[in-house]
Structure 1
Amino acid sequence: SANKAETPRSSRVETPRRRSCHRFGIFVCNLPWQVDDSWLEELFSEHGDVFDARVVYERRGGTWRSRGFGFVTMATEEETYDAVYALNKQ
């Protein structure tokens, strides 16, 4: 019965939900002011699956303005490195 208790646990490790916990983040800086979350996601999706893409905003004078940087979260380490290599300094 010890083997039966261990089998479901080890099979759960392989489920997509479990794998999705291991995502890889990229800090993206020097963004033009007009770049928003959807633009950032579209750009990085050319290099793999994007789980999240967010531009950081701050409130100034009653309006929200981009701070010129953001974060993108990719599905795999390989996609993360591919995106960084392709988009670095662009």
Structure 2
Amino acid sequence: MGIASGIVLYLVVWFMTFFVALPIRIETQGEAGDIVDGTHSGSPQQHHLKKKAWITTWIALAIWAVLAYIIITGTISVRDFDWFNRMG
């Protein structure tokens, strides 16, 4: 795995982890009882984006390290997924 592919893999893992973390602990305006005129009651009041970004960074780093180890050592290769015996 090259440097560019390692960075791309980390970014993919980071964004997937971030999208999973986004709906966690959101306090909506309806729950807070402070609905701003012109917005939906389900709009976030407190979203904690900075905290979620930092947590996501560390979790994504751990996931990326495991994936990078598997790819670099060849523990799992493309041939392991050749279910139709196309690789010979």
User: Structure 1 or 2: larger helix share?
Assistant: 2
Quick check: which has more Rg, 1 or 2?
2
User: Structure 1 or 2: larger strand share?
Assistant: 1
Q: TM-score, normalising length from structure 1?
A: 0.28
